[in-house]
């Protein structure tokens, strides 16, 4: 599957965009939150212990912050096609490569098809279930009317993953949550080095 930090940053969940990179070919549901929200997710992948991620989303600015259990943080600005990975252990900030191409997959049709499957409920909230298909893989998603992805299970040629919302809290998110911390050094890594570093942490 795609790298985990970008996966969650775009789900803003948007495992839909980062794992399968789907956006609708036909009438797609809204899958970016339309309200400010904080979401706790559990990510399950075969052969690994379940991991908890925290997502904060600013709907007006389309800004996301994803906090990982390994300690790194992803800050994403979707309209700008820009993301940074904050590595507290290195006191450093790294520009996330190829993020603009991922945001393009969110905003532009990429050949995915959404088929309604009925209703679901996660984290105490109702959602609509969909079968999601595209050339890269397949999955199911449960999405609220205001664009919160409560559950996603998908697979492609690289493996499978399941993302489940455990808690959802709507409300304003502080602007400081989406800004890089002061005093951190900006570093540039060669292609592939960032993914390898995140996999180790």
Instruction: Quote the pTM value.
Output: 0.80
The pairing of strands 92-95 and 82-87 is antiparallel
pLDDT, tens digit, 9 for 90 and up, residues 106-161? 554 355 678 899 999 999 999 999 888 777 778 888 999 988 989 988 877 777 88
Distance CA(164)–CA(93), nearest Å, equals: 28
pLDDT, tens digit, 9 for 90 and up, residues 79-99? 887 888 898 888 999 877 656
Question: Which domains are present in the chain?
Answer: 4-188 (2.50.20.10)
Residue 113's Cβ-count burial label (10 Å; 0-12, 13-18, 19+) is: middle
Distance CA(125)–CA(63), nearest Å, equals: 23
Whole-number average pLDDT of the chain? 77
Contacts of 132 (CB under 8 A, 6+ apart): 16, 20, 22, 112, 113, 114, 138, 139, 140, 141, 154
Hey, how many other C-beta atoms are within 10 angstroms of the C-beta on 172?
Answer: 10
**Reduced to 3 states, what is the DSSP secondary structure of residue 162?**
strand
pLDDT at 54 over 50: yes
Do 46 and 68 contact (CB within 8 A), yes or no? no
Average pLDDT over residues 159-178: 92
């Amino acid at each position: 599957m795609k790298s985990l930090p970008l996966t969650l940053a775009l789900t803003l969940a948007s495992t839909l965009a980062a794992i399968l990179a789907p956006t609708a070919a036909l009438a797609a549901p809204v899958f970016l939150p339309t309200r400010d929200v904080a979401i706790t997710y559990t990510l399950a992948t075969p052969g690994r212990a379940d991991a908890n991620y925290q997502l904060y989303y600013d709907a007006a600015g389309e800004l996301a912050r994803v906090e990982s259990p390994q300690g790194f943080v992803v800050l994403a600005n979707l309209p700008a096609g820009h993301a940074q990975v904050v590595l507290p252990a290195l006191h450093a900030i790294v520009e996330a490569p190829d993020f603009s191409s991922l945001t393009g997959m969110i905003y532009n049709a990429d050949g995915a098809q959404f088929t309604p499957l009925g209703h679901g409920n996660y984290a105490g909230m109702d959602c609509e279930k969909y079968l999601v298909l595209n050339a890269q893989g397949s999955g199911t998603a449960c999405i609220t009317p205001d664009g919160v992805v409560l559950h996603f299970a998908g697979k492609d040629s690289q493996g499978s993953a399941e993302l489940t919302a455990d808690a959802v809290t709507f409300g304003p998110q502080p602007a400081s949550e989406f800004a890089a911390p002061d005093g951190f050094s900006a570093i540039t890594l060669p292609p592939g080095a960032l993914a390898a570093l995140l996999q180790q942490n």
